[in-house]
Structure 1
Amino acid sequence: MKKVVVIVQDGVEPFGLGVLGEVWAEPYHPEDDNPLFDYVVCTPNPGRVKGTAGYDYFIDRGLDELDDADLVAIVPKRDFLEPSPEVAAAVRAAAGRGVRVLASCTSVFILGEAGLLDGRECTTHWRYGGLLAERFPLAKVNADVLYVEDDLVLTGAGSAAAIDASLHLVRQVFGAKVATTTARRIVVAPHRDGGQAQFVRTPMGQTEADTLAPLLAWASDHLDEQLSVERLAAHAHMSPRTFARRFRDETGTTPLQWLTSQRLAQAEELLENSSLPVEQIAGRVGFGNAATLRHHFSIARGTTPQQYRKTFTCVAEAG
């Protein structure tokens, strides 16, 4: 993945544009050895593009930039129910050539206009899930999750979810180490699973001691151990029922799903950066044996641990 093309239109949301730049437009940092992308911002009618935050933009690139793109990302705009047929056609053509497409929040609607949501699972901001499903009845809308990948189409929730979706892509293409380094640079969580809830119901007025942050840090350091809900609840000084409810409220996921996600992330790093046998890696991250690791890895990543190691060893050598 070399060329990333971002489409903006009149009414562009500045935050939606900014979060994409944080991941894809960063210059090379020798200390991180981060991949460098040809980052291009384009618009249907090059020139002045109206913004929504008291300032406009000048964009001198047109939609022909999509012709050799590896990733096309669409920035949300204010009047999203008035889609541009020209943008829809350009995005549809790019997807037809096998180009990855990324949209989050209201920009997902342009994918619907392009016919790219038909029969596909997708998401958008929770406020607009019902409207998206009504407008595009063939789409499989799930407005409860952070992001969804279906084939080469990646859709995210609110604009900030474009960071999570982008890091997901970085992890897929360049491996866990690069994704973690990218996340650390922009000071966000290195991996939030796409199935995580869009928002959490943490009660207002909590003190720091009331949160599960200390427990999550402890559990991350003890992934090789048996971490049942009962044990986690006891460590947090809660009943299992209260703990399970609090965990969901604070993290947007279940203890089991969170543990599986953390163990997979740690397994990826060990596969990339060590020569340990898969059986030993499975034990170190708490899956117990290679068969269990392979099972979860196949479901979550669509490949085997051995193939993952082979892929990202080749990536590292090529870099």
Structure 2
Amino acid sequence: MERIKTAIVGASGYTGQELLRLLLVHPQVELVAATSRQEAGKPLSAVFPRFRKLPGAELPFIEPDPDAIAATGAQAAFLALPHGVAAEIATALLERGLKVIDLSADFRLSDAAIYEEFYGHAHPAPALLDEAVYGLPEVREDAIKAARLIASPGCYPTSIILPLVPLLKAGLIDPETIVANSLSGVSGAGRKADISLLFVECNESVRAYGIPKHRHLSEIEQELSLAAGEKVTITFIPHLIPVNAGIATTITAKLRGGVDAAKVGEALEAAYSEAPFVRLLGKGGCADTKNVTRTNFIDIGWHHDSRTGRVILTSAEDNLGKGAGSQAVQSFNIIFGLPQTAGLQTA
């Protein structure tokens, strides 16, 4: 099979580095372009010595110029860029015939007004919002197959949406009672100079942030509302923890009156028993980040608190993997008719 010529735009950040790690060894991918304004002209192996001697590691970084990217023959491009920046180059690459998988927030929301509310500026390309597909493979596989623009989900949303969607669709829980607490590794904040992210500021420390209205709430509530068939508003409390990568999420919600708690496990099994990257831990299981980092797996466990009538869901994923780079590759595989697991079967 001829390999698919692929570009990474914004390849020098943490998510870009994860995409490089995966795509340089993906059996059906030929990496033909990697962009970085700061590193332009340098080989990938010079910026990231871990990739030395891998095929393609001597490819030089280039400027993020749409014409230059298209001239490489790239059929698809991953955008690992900040929100507000990705939309412009996404538009340009779509005009040049590339498939685009955007890992920013620019196309995750279907409503431009909600984007402006949560991100503080007008949407840069509202005409594309109706076309963009929210790229959660376990929920939107058929739509992803036909898409030319994928909005790859955020890391926190993936850890919250996947456990809750089957329960909301089945009407098992009261949407008004959902509370999600998430803890993320420091790499989730991106590769940037920020005093609050220095080692001595984060080590031996756990703190909540972005409350009560973290930006990811917008896409979380959008997707949960679609699953429930009604508007869903939740409480979401993110935390920063002193690890490099990983997200642990605990979600609580009241079971609807008369619902047998066993239905929770049945709904999760019905939704994900055949999903290659969802590992169900069953009743009593507690997800642990050490089991998912450096993989595309999300682990999901659940409990029932008979005293409060609440279901307790736990999930764990790698924020740079299932929460970013490897999930985007999973969507890429679907678009190009490859097995979802291609290039992603790591333990």
Q: Give your verdict on TM over 0.5.
A: no
Tell which structure's C-alpha radius of gyration is larger. 1
Identify, as 1 or 2, the structure richer in helix: 1
**Shorter-chain-normalised TM-score: which range?**
0.3 to 0.5
- Where relative contact order (Cα < 8 A, 6+ residues apart) is larger, the structure is 2
TM-score w.r.t. the length of structure 1 is: 0.35
